[in-house]
Amino acid sequence: MTKLTAKAFTLVELLVVITIIMILTTFVSLNLTSAKKTARDNKRISDAQLLASALDQYAASNARLYLCPGGGCIADDSTSQFVEITPASTIYGSLSTYINPVPTEVLTTQGYKYFYAYRKDGRKASIIITKFETGNKLCNITNGNLPKEVSDYRDQLGTACYYVSR
């Protein structure tokens, strides 16, 4: 009678291979998550610059006055106003002539938002990003020389991480 022998992996060998694959998968997954966060933060900066450029185009078409939603600009009024940039906001419709589609934040439920801060006289305006996912290394807001509408925003509404001012 002949004896049959089968070549196969032992249970220990299979467990070692599975463990190694799981560890490698975890590292890859963590790196991809970090890369996605960095990419979204870079997109936020790019969006803020695009919005600021659209505001410049608006001002060039409107006697060098930036957009004053909700009633128009008021001469000699340097107080600041703030509008969140969402598809439902008045600024969204006004800027859609100059940039289409108007960039908006996709993670608003987690506190990531774009704001339009402007002086009521229409002479100054800023785009503000409330926060980044990858920490403060990209933030450009310090306690130094901030434009008035940006410092007013921080004083009145709180968190702000990045701005583009005009």
- Using CA atoms, how far apart are residues 79 and 39, in angstroms rounded to an integer? 35
- Using CA atoms, how far apart are residues 114 and 108, in angstroms rounded to an integer? 9
User: In 3D, which of 125, 38, 122, 117 has the Cα closest to residue 85?
Assistant: 117
pTM of the model: 0.78
Q: Over the chain, what is the mean pLDDT?
A: 86
Alpha helix locations (H) across 62-139?
Answer: 90-95
- pLDDT one-digit tens code per residue, 137-149: 788 887 678 888 8
Q: What's the longest Cα–Cα distance across the chain?
A: 107
- pLDDT one-digit tens code per residue, 10-30: 888 889 989 999 998 888 777
- Using CA atoms, how far apart are residues 129 and 151, in angstroms rounded to an integer? 13
